[in-house]
Structure 1
C-alpha cells in the first residue's frame, strides 16, 4: 500500500533475471568442471572488494534479487551428514547435509555479505550471506572475517548473477558460527599453539572488557564461554546479568529477559537484574509488566534515579495504550527531529476487533458506535524501514526484484525484510503477531526452532511483507502542507515503508470509511464516517480516481483480490460510450483551464462542461461518489471565493462535497443551518473545501454556519493528519 511497485518500469530487468534463472535451472544437478583456480578467485575477489569500497562512498541504487523460495533447514545438526564443495550440484538444495567452511578473505557487503570460503580439501567457493545485521548494528568483520569457521546447513549451490558458482544462505538459522573448540573442526584449521583454558572468572573479565569497548557480540560469546566453565551459583548469576546487558545492546530482548531470571527473581532480587528485566520488557512493548518490575525495583532500591525515569516512561506508555491519549504535538516534534523517525510510544487499539468477513478473509470491525474523526488505532510499526528524502543526502534506495512472483519494488522493502527477519530471529516471542498475517498460499515450516535457535523463513517474511507493507511519509502533516503550498501533487507512493500488524487486517474499499495518517513510524487510523457497531472498517490501498475499471482492478493484482465496492460495480456497469464521453468532456475542460488568462478562468464554460459530466452519472452521488467532478468543482470554488461571489462559491463548495459522496444542507446563502448529514470520501483537499465554506459564510455574516464549517475543517484535518493540535499553526486563527 502506497509503495513504489515498479514491475512495469523494470519489466526488462525482470525478464533478464527470469532468463538467467531458466538458464541456470538447465544445469540443475550438474557438478561444475570449470572451476577457476584458487589464486584467480582470490585476486578477482580482492579487486572487487577494493572497487566496491570506492563505489559505496557515492549514493547508489542497489539491486536485490529474490531467488525461488526454499524452506529453511529444520533437521537437527546431529542428523546432518558432512559433504565437501566438490560434492555439490548446481541449483540444488543439499538436504540432509552440511558444509564446514573457513573464510579466506575479508568480507564484502553489498545487499549480502560475500566472502570466499574453503573446505578442508582446499577447494574454494563464494559464500553469500543474506539478512545479516546492518553495518551500523554489527560490523561485517564481526560476522565473518579471515579465519572465521562457518557451518552451512543444507547448502544451496547455484549459478550467481556473474555466471560464477556460489553458495547462497537466505535463512539465518542455516549458518552457524563454529566455536574454535568444536570437535568437528579439522586438525589443520586448529591453532598450532595450545590455548590455555580460561576460568569462568577470566572469561567474564574478558567479556567485561569487550563491553567497555562496545564489542557487544564478542562479549556475548565470551560470557557464554564463561558459563560453560565450572562456577558457583552466584558467579553464574553475575555472568548472566552481564550478558543480559550485552543482549540488550544487540536488541536480543528475549535472551536479555531470560538472563535476568524473570519472572522469578527470588526473595532477594538484585538491582541490576530488575532494571535489565524492566528494560527488556519495555523494548518488547510489554509495558504493564515493565511497570510492575519497576515498582518492585523502586520498593527495593528507592535511591535508583534511573529506574524512576524509566518508570515514568512506562507509565506514559501504559496510559497511551489504555486510553489513546497522546501528546500529538510531541509526536510531531519527535518525527521532525529523529532519524530514523522511530518514536518511543505505545500502540492504542480502540473499539475494534478482528473478525471473519464474507469474502475477504479476516477484517477489522468497530465494536461500538463511532463518529467521523474518532480514533480507531494509533499503532507503532512492528518493523519500519526509513529511506532518507532525496534532499537529505546519502539516500540509498534498493530495487527489490522477485522474478518468481513477477514483481519489483523500489524503496525500503529490501531493508524491511532484513529488519523483520532479524527481529523475529532474535525475539521469537513477538513472532506470532507477524506470522499470522495474510501470506497467500505460501506453506511455511511448522518447526519453530532447531538446536536451540529460532527458525525464521525469509521467504515467508517476504511474502507477508509483500501483502501487508505500507508505504509511509515522514509525516502526513508535511505532505499536507506541500499540497497546500502547491509544492507537489498528492503522492501515491513512498520509499519508506513498514508493517503495522493491526492495521494490516483492514481491507480495501474505494468507498472507504476510515483513513490512515502517519507521524514517524506511528500510524493513526480514524473513522471518516459515523459508523454503527459491527461495521467493517475499510480504507484505501489505492486512492480511487475515477479511471476505468481495468486500470483500477489492475492496481489490486498484487494483493490478489477484486474490489466489488459500489464505485467499482458502477464502473463495471458503465458503457464504453459513456466512458468515452466523460474523457472528451475532461479533455475539453483541460483545454479551457489551459487557456485561462491571468484575469481568471472561463467559469461559464467550466460550469456547462461540469453539468454535462455530471449528467453522465445515473446513481446517486452518496452511493457512488463522482470522482471526476470534485477537483474541477473545487477549482471553481477557489475562483468564486477570489471574486467574492459568495452565492457561487457556496454553490461550488456544496457541489464539491456532493461529488465526494457527502449529503449536506445549508451550503448556500440562505438562513438554513449548514450541516453534514452524511460524510463522504475524505482527502487532504477537503480541509480547503470546508475553509472556503467558512470564508463564504463569514462574508455574509452567517457566523454559526462559519463556526460549523470550521469545525468540519478541523475534523477533516484530524482525519488526514492524524491529529488536530497543529491545525492553528497550519491554517492560522
Structure 2
C-alpha cells in the first residue's frame, strides 16, 4: 500500500512555523506552473486526513493570517473563465475566475479544505481561510459548485499547491446538499426554462430545509420572471421578506415586507408589517419599527405577539432618547448567562468630528456633568468567551490564537482570534454592518476603496483590513465591571477577572488621554461610558485605551506600537520634558521597592514598613516639581497603596489617612484635598479608577475611627460616586460599602 495511505500524520494540521517555511520557499517560484499530485493521491491524502481528524477529535487551535492581498472587487460578468490547469504559482490571476465541483467532503478546522475538479478534469485543493470551526453553516458539502474570483494560486510545499481564498466575498458556493441548487444549475448552465411557480415551490422547499440563501435566490427568480400576476408577485415578496428576516438580512427583509403590502394597507397585510417591524427593530430603527407594529395592530387589534413586540420597541425608544436603563435587570440576565443583551444605543449626547492632530474623535453635544452617562452602546461584535491570563480550564474550542505574518505577532487572548472570525461572518452577512465597520480606522493598511461595495449580491470584504481595524478598535472587557471590584490588583498581584474582547463602533471614535474625562464599564455586551468630571459642550470625550503604566517610556512605547500615536495629553506632554536619566532612576527605584515588598510576608513589622517608607520618600524626591506640579505621579501610586494597606492592617489610622491623601495626590486630585475638615477633589486633573476609589473608601473608615465623622461621610460619598462611574450603575453599591 502507498505510504501516503498509511500516514499517521495529519498533513493539514500545520504549525505557524511550518506555514512560514512554506511561505518563504514559495517566493522564488512566483509565476511558475504548479507541479502537483494527481487526483487519486489528492483525494487519498484528503480522506486520510479526515479520518485522522475524526480519530483525534481535536480542532486546530491556531491559524495564520498570511501576507495581505486585496480582495476581488470585480463582478463575475466582467471576468474571463479559465481552467484550474491555467493557474500560475504566487499569482492572483486578476481578470479571471474559475468554476469547479467539490469531489470530497470538507475538512473543517480554522481553515476549510476540500478538493475541486473543473470541467476539463483538472483538480486542485481549495483552502478557504478563517472559518468558524464551531459553526456548521460554513462547510462546503460534496458535489457543491464553487466560483472563485481572481483565484490565488499558492505553493504549499514540495509537489503541492493550493487555491487559497482569504476573503469571503471572493468565492460563491452552490451547496451540493441543497435541493434548490439543481434547479439553479439547470437554469444557469443548461438554460432550462423554469416557470415562476416552479421557482417559488423550490424556494418553499429550501426555506423548510433551512437553506435560506437558496430560498431567497429562488424567490428572486420567481419575482423577476413574474410579469402580470400582481398577487403572485406580492405573496412571493412576502415569502422572500421572511426568508431574509430569518437569514438576518434585515434591510432586505424590511424592504420586501413593505413592498408586499397594498397602499392603503388591507387585512392580511399585518404579517408583512410585523416582519417589517422585526427587521427595523434589529436594525436599531426603533421609531420606524414602532410605526410598523402599530399598523399591524390596526389591521389585527390586540394580537398578543405584536403587542409584546410593540412594548419592547417602545422601551428601546425610551432608552435611546433618555439614556435611562434598568441596569439591575441587565445584571440579573447576565447572571443567568445572557451576555448579548437586548437594549438600544444612547449616543445623542455625542457626535463624531475631526480632532486636531488626531483624526476623528467623539465630542460632547451638550455639557455632561460628572458621573452622568455620556453614552451607552451595544457591542457591534463580542464573543461570549471570557478567560484569564492564567486560565487552565479553557475548552479546546476556545484555545484559539492567530499568527499575523503582516505584523509578526500573535493574539494574546482566545477572544481576540474569535472576535476576528465573528467580525468576518457579521460584515459578510450584513451589508449595512460592513459599511459602518469599514469606516473605522485601519491604521496604515492600504485600502482599495471598494470595501463594503455590493458586487454579485454581497459586500466586498477585505479580511486583512478587518484585522487591521480590529487591532485599532477592539476593547478587552469583563462580563461586568462590577466583578473587577472583587480583586485588588497592584504591581504585586494581577487581575484574575476573566476578560473577553469586543468592538463597539461608536465608542471606537473616542481618543486616548492618560488623564481622561470619561470611563467605560461593561454589563455583558453593553458598554456604558460616564463622565469623570464635568465635560463642557463641544469638548472632546477622552478615555484611557490602556490603564496607565507607571513609567512614561513604557506608556509611550505601548501607544506607538499598538495604536500608532504619540500621546500629547497634559501628563505625557510634561513627562516628555523630564530627563532620560530621571526616568531611569525612577524605574530602577520602583523595581527595588517591588522586590523589597515581594520579600516580605503577610505579617509585616513596623520596622519593615518604615524601611519601605524611606524608599518611597526617595522616589518622591526624584519627581521634578517643575514637571509634576498639579499632575499625577503614577510611579508613586502602587508603593503608596502598599503602605496604605499595611498601616490599615496595623490600625494606625493617622498613617492610613496620610497615605490615602498621598494616593489621591499621586492620582492628580490635588496637593491638599482635605482643607478645614472639607474634602475637595480636583476631578478635572485626577484619574478616577478602582484604586483611587478604594483609597477614599479606606480613608472614610480611618476618619470614622479618628472621630472625624463629617469628612468620613464626604469620603464615602465621593467613593460611592466613583463606584457608579466605574461599574456603570449603582447595582451592588451597598454590598460593596458594607464589607
Under a length normalisation based on structure 1, what TM-score does the superposition of the two structures give?
Answer: 0.88
What CA distance in whole angstroms lies between the structure 1 residues aligned with 2:262 and 2:696?
59
**Superposition deviation, residue 164 in structure 1:** 2.7
CA deviations 1:164-197 (Å, max 9, x no partner) are 311112223322235545679998xx8xxx99x8
Q: C-alpha offsets along residues 248-291 of structure 1, whole Å, 9 cap, x if unaligned? A: 22222122222212597521251111111111111111111111
Match of 2:349 among 342, 348, 351: 351
- Using the TM superposition, name which of 164-173 and 319-328 deviates more: 164-173
- Is contact 2:37-2:159 (8 Å) kept? no
Structure 2: tracts of 5 or more residues without a match:
1-14, 175-180
Which shows bigger deviation, 36-45 or 531-540? 531-540
Give the match for residue 465 of structure 1: 470
Which of residues 658, 661, 668 in structure 2 aligns to 1:651? Answer: 658
Which residue of structure 2 lines up, in the alignment, with residue 427 of structure 1?
430
Per-residue CA deviations over 1:467-517 (Å, capped at 9, x if unaligned) read 11222222222222133899962379x762222111111112222222111
Cα deviation 1:631-685 (Å, max 9, x = unaligned): 22222222333333222211111111001111275648xx521232435112212
- In structure 2, what is the equivalent of residue 244 of structure 1? 241
1:338-417 equivalence runs, <5 A: 338=337, 341-389=339-387, 390=391, 391=393, 393-410=395-412, 411-417=414-420
Distance in 2 separating the partners of 1:350 and 1:585 = 47
Cα distance change, pair 505–63 in 1 and its aligned pair in 2 (3 A): same
**Structure 1 residue 622 displacement after superposition:** 6.0
In the other structure, the counterpart of 2:250 is: 253
Matches within 5 A, 1:91-240: 91-130=90-129, 135-136=134-135, 138-141=136-139, 144-160=140-156, 164-178=160-174, 179-180=181-182, 200-201=196-197, 204-205=200-201, 207-224=203-220, 226-227=222-223, 230=226, 232-240=229-237
Uncovered stretches (5+) of structure 1, i.e. residues with no partner: 1-12
For residues 552 and 19 of structure 2, the distance between their equivalents in structure 1, rounded to whole angstroms, comes to 32
C-alpha distance in 1, partners of 2:401/2:262?
48
What is the match of residue 644 of structure 2? 637
Partner residue of 1:543 out of 543, 547, 551: 547
Q: SS at 1:647's partner residue?
A: helix
The structure whose RCO (Cα within 8 Å, separation 6+) is larger is 1
Q: CA deviation at 1:452?
A: 3.5
Q: Please name the residue that 1:275 is paired with.
A: 274
Tell me if structure 1 keeps the 8 A contact 2:440–2:508: yes
Give the secondary-structure state (helix, strand or coil) at the position aligned to 1:530: coil
Q: How many residues align?
A: 705
In the other structure, the counterpart of 1:5 is: none
Match of 2:26 in 1: 24
Partner of 1:507: 511
Task: Report the counterpart of residue 39 of structure 2 in structure 1.
Answer: 38
- For residues 216-260 of structure 1, give each alpha carbon's deviation from its aligned partner in whole angstroms, at most 9, with x where no partner exists: 445445544544654832223223322322222222212222221
Instruction: Work out the CA distance in 2 between the residues paired with 1:672 and 1:135.
Output: 61
Determine if contact 1:203/1:226 at 8 Å carries over to the other structure. Answer: yes
- Which of 520, 525, 535 aligns to 2:529? It is 525
Q: CA deviation at 1:16?
A: 6.7
Sort the Cα spacing of 1:484 and 1:300 in 2 relative to 1 into closer, same or farther, 3 A.
farther
Name the residue aligned to 2:449: 445
Say which is worse superposed, 119-128 or 250-259, in terms of deviation: 250-259
Using a 3 Å threshold, how does the CA distance of structure 1 residues 338 and 233 change in structure 2: closer, same or farther?
farther
- Structure 1 residues 449-481: Cα deviation after superposition (integer angstroms, max 9, x where no partner): 223333222233222222112222222222221
Output one character per residue of 1:529-580: Cα deviation in whole Å (capped at 9) or x when no partner.
Answer: 2333333222222222222515642453131111233433444333344334
Establish whether residue 699 from structure 1 lines up as the match of residue 700 from structure 2: no
Secondary structure at the counterpart of residue 377 of structure 1: strand
Which SS does the other structure have where 1:355 is aligned?
strand
Question: Aligned-residue CA RMSD in angstroms?
Answer: 3.1
Change (3 A) 1:539 1:444: same
Aligned mates of 1:18, 1:540 — CA distance in 2: 36
